[in-house]
Structure 1
Amino acid sequence: MDKSVLENEDTSSVEPNKLETTDGVIVKTNQIDVLSLPRQKNVPRSEKDKKSPPADEPALDENWLLLARDWQSQPYEKTDIQALLKQTKKRTFWAKFLLGLNVVATLGLIGFFLVGLLQGAFDKATIIYLGVGSLLSPVFVYYEIKIRLRTWQQSCDSPDRAVSNAIAACESSIKYYQLSKYSGVFSVPFVNAYLFVLGSESEKSPWPYIAVFNLFVLLMWFVTHAIQQKRKKELTQLSSV
């Protein structure tokens, strides 16, 4: 047996990745792993369907058009701009009227206090009551003017701003009624003390007068609170327009 053949067979069995050519050059070869070859990605049918336009696309467009027309034809609540302007103008008039009354009442209270203090026309309890009222009433009027004036400065009769003016008027009313409730509750102890002193000096029971006054304040508080809640509902409706 030829020895070179045995050597070649032995070499090929040891190094199967090398091939010897006729020129004696050894070429190294790599084995190909079939499993490592990239495979063709199987695209799911749903993704292919997304890439290709559906056959019934015109039908879908027509359905969307019908749906949009049906939505636009739904009934909705319309806002009467002229009625809203009239309502805002009316409320602005009454707000200015109440502000004028409060200013006149404050000036009158201060005037009575000065007359009683200088001429001694009132008793001591009345002088103290008028003095406290002369200090607190201007504070109330100041905040009332501050609340109202901010709204009146931006108010106008333009129909384009009817909704915004109505919203500002509602917000102003809510703040004013809140101020009225606070001032009413804050005045209760001072008035009760004044009525108690008057009743003690006149040798009459002050409790009936105190009870009537407190019931009146309680009634006014509930009325003011009810109007305030009504304005809040109106504000919610106007904000959704």
Structure 2
Amino acid sequence: MKDNESSLNMDKDTQAPIAEQTQMTVTDEAHHYAVDDNNAVDENNPDEATILDEQWQSLSQDWQSQPVEKTDIQALLKQTKRRTTWAKTCFALNILATAGLFISFFYGVIIGEFGTPWNLYLGGAGLMSLIFVYYEMKIRAKTWRQISDSPDQAIENALAGCESSMKYMSLTKWSCLPFGVLANWFVYSVGKEGDKPMLGALIFINVFIAVMFLITELIHRKRKKEFKELNAKISNL
């Protein structure tokens, strides 16, 4: 029994130093890794911050060195004023054309010398022109009230003018359809009534309408491009 107790005591005495030594080893290793990690953070963070600062300064210099497109305010004001003058002139001509169509229609009906195809064409064209002028007035009037000669609002006024022009071009393109139908009917009716060849006149009318539509479409696309560029300039201000 004494031998067994003595053996157990020796085992305990042996295990205690080993456990203590193992614990110290683990603690030392953990401390060693922690110190290494702290050193890595301390050593790497300043370098990363320095690199980021250098990259930021480089980007800032590149951005500042880029050429900035400046807007010629006076040229923009003159362009807006010129387009407004043309729009008012066109509006006045459309009013005169509408009045002329109605005067011709009433004259033809009262005198009775034009004939049914002419009277119907003049009356129908006058009515379509009246509707066209009404919507044109709604489009233009709002813009003309907004536009001024103030240099501070040069870009905003140019935007309003472009937007008004785009709406007017859309109106013109849509109006080609009913005017084309009416014109084709008129040529057909006059040719049938007088036993005259209609092919040449029909080709001329349709080519004329197609050319008008194409010109209007090109101007519409040009105004869309200008409108986009002006919006980009406002975003960069």
- TM-score interval, smaller chain: 0.7 to 0.9
In 2, distance between residues paired with 1:220 and 1:168? 24
Contact 1:163–1:238 (Cα < 8 Å) also in 2: yes
In 2, distance between residues paired with 1:55 and 1:205? 90
Aligned to 2:182: 190
Matched, 1:210 2:218: no
Distance 1:56 1:128, change over 3 A: closer
* Letter matched to residue 102 of structure 1: N
Deviations 1:121-173 (A, max 9, x none): 31111111111112111100001111111111110111111111111111111
SS of residue paired to 1:240: helix
Aligned to 2:148: 156
Matched, 1:103 2:85: no
Please list, as runs of the form range in 1=range in 2, the aligned pairs for 1:1-241 lying within 5 A after superposition: 45=37, 49=41, 54=46, 61=53, 64-241=56-233
In 2, distance between residues paired with 1:160 and 1:118? 56
Deviation of 1:110 after TM superposition, in Å, equals 0.9
Deviation of 1:64 after TM superposition, in Å, equals 3.3
In 2, distance between residues paired with 1:62 and 1:207? 76
159-168 or 69-78, which moves further after superposition? Answer: 69-78
**Which structure shows the higher helix fraction?**
2
Deviation of 1:208 after TM superposition, in Å, equals 0.8
* Letter matched to residue 149 of structure 2: D
Question: Which residues of structure 1 form unaligned runs of 5+?
Answer: 1-39
In 1, distance between residues paired with 2:221 and 2:51? 51
Deviation of 1:61 after TM superposition, in Å, equals 4.5
* Letter matched to residue 87 of structure 2: A
What is the total number of aligned residue pairs between the two structures? 204
* Letter matched to residue 93 of structure 2: L
SS of residue paired to 1:173: helix
Contact 1:115–1:121 (Cα < 8 Å) also in 2: no
Contact 1:88–1:165 (Cα < 8 Å) also in 2: yes
Distance 1:115 1:49, change over 3 A: same
In 1, distance between residues paired with 2:54 and 2:203? 74
Identity of paired residues, percent?
44
Deviation of 1:116 after TM superposition, in Å, equals 1.4
Larger radius of gyration: 1
